[in-house]
C-alpha cells in the first residue's frame, strides 16, 4: 500500500439542467463522449467492462459498479495507466463515483475518486496529481455541454 497523503479527490459543480439530463450525459455512451473520453467501446451498464478511449492519452478498461438512474453512477478503473486492458478488478484500482442531486440553483454533481492508497507508490502519487487537475477539467467540460446547448 502506498503512503499517499490524500486518498480521495472530490470535485463539485452545479449545472442548470435536470437530474435526468445530467445523468444521461454521464451514463449514455453516445453523450459521454461530448465531455469525457473521445470514444467508448461497450455498454455502461452495471457489471460491464467497457473501454474508454482517450485518444493520444490511451485506452482504459473500466468496470461499472453501480447505476441508480438520475442519482448515482460508479465505476472502477486503473488511473494513470495509458493502456490498461486487463481485469480491472484483479489489480489495485480506484472507485469513481458521480453523485447527482437537485439543488435550488440547479443540479449538483459531485465527482469523487477514491482508493489511491491501494495503488503502487509512484503510480498513486502521479495518478492523484493528474486526476486532481483532470477531474477539474472534465467536469468543466461537462458543465459546458449544458451551456452550449
pLDDT at position 149 is: 55
The confidence score (pLDDT) of residue 1 equals 42
Structural domains in the chain, sorted by start = 8-147 (3.30.530.20)
Mean pLDDT of the 74-81 span = 87
Q: How do residues 7-50 score in pLDDT, each as one tens digit? A: 999 999 999 999 999 999 999 999 999 999 999 999 999 999 99
- Whether the full predicted model's pTM is greater than 0.85, yes or no, is yes
Cα 14 to Cα 17: distance, rounded to the nearest angstrom: 9
Measured at the CA of 126, the angle between CA 66 and CA 132, to 5 degrees, comes to 55
**Residue 9 and residue 127 in contact, taking contact as beta carbons nearer than 8 Å:** no
- Can you give the pLDDT at residue 25? 97
In the sheet with 63-68, reading across from the earlier edge strand, the strands are 8-15, 106-114, 94-103, 72-77, 63-68
Distance in angstroms (rounded) separating the CA atoms of residues 95 and 90: 14
pLDDT, averaged across the chain: 90
Write down the residue that cell numbers 457489471 correspond to.
47
Amino acid at each position: 500500500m502506498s503512503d499517499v497523503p490524500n486518498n480521495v479527490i472530490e470535485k463539485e459543480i452545479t449545472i442548470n439542467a435536470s437530474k435526468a439530463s445530467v445523468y444521461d450525459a454521464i451514463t449514455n455512451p453516445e453523450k459521454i463522449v461530448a465531455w469525457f473520453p473521445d470514444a467508448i467501446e461497450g455498454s455502461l451498464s452495471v457489471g460491464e467492462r467497457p473501454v474508454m478511449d482517450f485518444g493520444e492519452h490511451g485506452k482504459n478498461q473500466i468496470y461499472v459498479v453501480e447505476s441508480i438512474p438520475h442519482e448515482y453512477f460508479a465505476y472502477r478503473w486503473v488511473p494513470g495507466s495509458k493502456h490498461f486492458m486487463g481485469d480491472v478488478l484483479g489489480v489495485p484500482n480506484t472507485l469513481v463515483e458521480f453523485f447527482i442531486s437537485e439543488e435550488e440553483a440547479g443540479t449538483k454533481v459531485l465527482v469523487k475518486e477514491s482508493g489511491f492508497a491501494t495503488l503502487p507508490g509512484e503510480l498513486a502519487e502521479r495518478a492523484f496529481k493528474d486526476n486532481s487537475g483532470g477531474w477539474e477539467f472534465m467536469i468543466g467540460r461537462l458543465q459546458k455541454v449544458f451551456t452550449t446547448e
